[in-house]
Amino acid sequence: MEGEQTMAKQTTKSEKAMRTDLLDQLSAQGKTASYYVDLVDRYLFLRRTADALQKDIDERGPVVPITSGNGFTKTAPNESIRELKNTLSLMLVIIRDLNLREPAAAEDDDAAYLQ
């Protein structure tokens, strides 16, 4: 649809700062190949996906109405919960495999990492 941005193209100031920080951590480890940059970009994509899934859970709740094949409405677990769990797991795998510390929202350099 016209005027809509895809999730892949949406970036925020905090996301740009997080990308820079993660790339700086990789650079300090001598990991500067495009493979590592791609993994950071994939991590940020997963972060945006997790945010969208969380928004869906917040808006629709843990149980959602669905229409069955025979036209009856019933309730079912919100699939976003399962997808959020899987997305967060993938994010942690990327951070751990790259030996990175995830940046926190703090501005202070000493407090800028989750311990």
Compute the distance between CA of residue 65 and CA of residue 88 in angstroms, rounded to an integer: 25
Averaged pLDDT for residues 72-96? 96
Q: Is the pTM of this model over 0.85?
A: no
pLDDT in tens, 15-69: 999 999 999 999 999 999 999 999 999 999 999 999 999 999 999 999 999 998 8
Contact between 4 and 18 (Cβ < 8 Å): no
pLDDT in tens, 34-44: 999 999 999 99
For residue 40, give every residue at least 6 positions away whose Cβ sits within 8 Å of its Cβ, in sequence order, or none.
19, 22, 23, 26, 98
